[in-house]
Amino acid sequence: MVRKIVFPDAEESLAPMFKGPRLSKLEELGEFIIYYGNQPDDETFIHRIADANAVISGWGLSNTVLAALPNLEIISFTGLGVSTFIDLAETTRRNITVTHTLSTSETIAEHTMGLMLDAARHISRLDRDIRKGFWNKELVGLDLRGKTLGLVGFGRIAQAVVPLAQAFGMKVISWTRNPDKQRAAQCNIKFMELDHLLASSDVVSLHLSLTPETERLINADRLRLLKPGALIVNTARSKIIDGRAFIESLRSGHIGAAGIDVFDDEPISSNHPLIEFDNVVMTPHVAYNTPEALEEMFDTAIQNLVAFYSGRPQNVAPNSKA
């Protein structure tokens, strides 16, 4: 029987990625089918991949979908934070391997710095003012030089942020569940307890996967620990912050500005509470989105399938079946 590989939820802009050598590699593994368009619902997912052996996906599959896929052996997830989109305990129970791609760390780190700079210097807001005919020279920016950046989490993306922030003259500190003196020395940073980090930082940037332990990790009490006027940048997952408390902190002015790339529901509604704030710069979950990063990401996703079917699985998601 011919192996079937399906990409059920590709954005139309990705069509050029699946030609030439990439398409040849996939077709060497089996029959490859790709569907373009918006993220489908469960019923459409099931229709598209009911008999698939392998799935490439950037949105993940619900447990309802997984239950309808008796032949599925591997999900090659195109990105990080796979546990937000796929129940890894369920895939393990069903003997399905889940892999992810780790290739966009530097790209996301650059976007993190872009949001940080924009929030600190009001770039988007001032641009909007000029386009409306308002020459606003009264809005004072914030130097990043000499400020303390607190990284909540210290995985690959956070580590890629460090040299960029240090190039701006920032002092970098971090909280991680696995502090290591050697890593701290190598990166020229200091690890500290989370509450101390929040109280010590001028800018806080989030770099954690969303798990039951990290959901609302930055709650109302912890937001109150921030310095008045501190900046927050989130390119990780929105639910790491208590959303209601975050809005209240912005409204009170305790948080001076924010740069956000991730939201509870995407796309956000036209009446989302963050829209009211001129001191919040938002991007539509695109921190990973450059041609170079996308090419590397899909090359890795395809190579993950090749490795799996060669009997040497790679980039297996933590807590997933190996």
Task: Read off the DSSP letter of residue 13.
Answer: G
Using one digit for the tens of pLDDT, what is the confidence trace for 79-98? 877 888 899 999 999 999 99
Given the residues 285, 295, 296, 312, the one annotated as active site: 285
Is 47 among the residues known to form the active site?
no
Helix (H) or strand (E) holding 238: none
CATH number for domain 106-282, candidates 3.40.50.720, 3.40.50.150, 3.20.20.80, 3.30.2270.10? 3.40.50.720
Is 266 among the residues known to form the active site?
yes
DSSP 74-108: EEEESSS-GGGTS-HHHHHHTT-EEE---TTHHHH
Is 193 among the residues known to form the active site?
no
How many other CB atoms are found less than 10 A from the CB of residue 177?
A: 10
> What strand order describes the sheet that includes 97-99?
31-36, 4-10, 54-57, 74-77, 97-99
**Residue 322 in this model has a pLDDT that exceeds 60:** no
List residues bridging with 23 in a β-sheet. none
Given the residues 100, 207, 222, 237, the one annotated as active site: 237
Nearest in space to 33 (alpha carbons), one of 20, 52, 12:
52
Alpha-carbon gap, residue 151 to 155, rounded angstroms:
10
Given the residues 193, 266, 276, 292, the one annotated as active site: 266
Mean pLDDT confidence for 21-30: 97
Secondary structure of residue 7 in the 3-state scheme: strand
CATH 3.40.50.720, domain 4-103+290-309, yes or no? yes
Nearest in space to 225 (alpha carbons), one of 150, 304, 318:
150
What predicted TM-score, i.e. pTM, was given to this entire model? 0.89
Alpha-carbon gap, residue 69 to 74, rounded angstroms:
11
Using one digit for the tens of pLDDT, what is the confidence trace for 271-309? 999 999 999 999 999 999 999 999 999 999 999 999 999
Where does 239-288 have alpha helices with state H?
A: 243-252
Domain boundaries, the chain: 4-103+290-309, 106-282
Say whether 106-282 and 4-103+290-309 share the same fold: yes
Mean pLDDT confidence for 234-244: 97
